[in-house]
Amino acid sequence: MKHFLLLIIGLLWITEVNSQTVTGPSGYKDIFLGDNGQGDYTHSLILLHEIYNGNYLPFNNAVGTVTAYRGATNAYMRIGVAYVNTSSAYVGTSGSVQSLSNDAPWKLKTCMYNGKKYIALDIPYEDAYQNIGFNFSGWSNSTGENLKIVNYMVNGAAVNQTLISNISDFNSDMTETHAVQQMNIMGNVNIGTAVVSPTYQFQVNGKIRAQEVKVETANWPDYVFDKNYHSMPLNEVEQYIKSNKHLPDMPSAKQVDKEGIELGEMNKKLLKKIEELTLYLVDQNERILKQDEKNKAQDKLIQQLYEQMKKKP
Residue 313 pLDDT level (bands cut at 50, 70, 90): low
**Domain spans of the chain?**
16-169, 210-300
Residue 159 pLDDT level (bands cut at 50, 70, 90): very high
Residue 1 pLDDT level (bands cut at 50, 70, 90): very low
Question: Mean pLDDT, to the nearest integer, of 232-257?
Answer: 94
Gyration radius (Cα) of the chain, Å: 36
Give the tens place of pLDDT for each residue, 5-19.
333 333 333 223 233
pLDDT of residue 17: 27
- For the chain, the average pLDDT equals 88
According to DSSP, residue 16 is labeled E
Give the tens place of pLDDT for each residue, 184-206.
988 888 888 877 667 888 888 88
Dihedral over Cα of 290, 294, 299, 300: its sign:
positive
Residue 112 pLDDT level (bands cut at 50, 70, 90): very high
User: Does the pLDDT of residue 24 top 60, yes or no?
Assistant: no
pLDDT of residue 213: 87
d(CA 128, CA 38): 11
d(CA 287, CA 293): 10
**pLDDT over 90 percentage in the chain:** 70
Per-position DSSP letters for 65-82, written without gaps between them? EEEEEEEETTEEEEEEEE
Give the tens place of pLDDT for each residue, 147-157.
999 999 999 99
Give a three-class secondary structure readout of 89-156.
EECEEEEEEEEEECCCCCEEEEEEECCEEEEEEECCCCCCCCCCEEEEEEEEECCCCCCEEEEEEECC
Measured between alpha carbons, how far is residue 138 from residues 26, 68, 187, 236, 261 in Å?
A: 10, 15, 29, 72, 47
Measured between alpha carbons, how far is residue 264 from residues 252, 267, 273, 277 in Å?
A: 17, 5, 14, 20
pTM here?
0.72
Q: How many residues does the chain have?
A: 313
β-sheet bridge partners, residue 31:
21, 136
φ/ψ (deg, to 5) at 194:
-120, 105
Residue 224 pLDDT level (bands cut at 50, 70, 90): very high
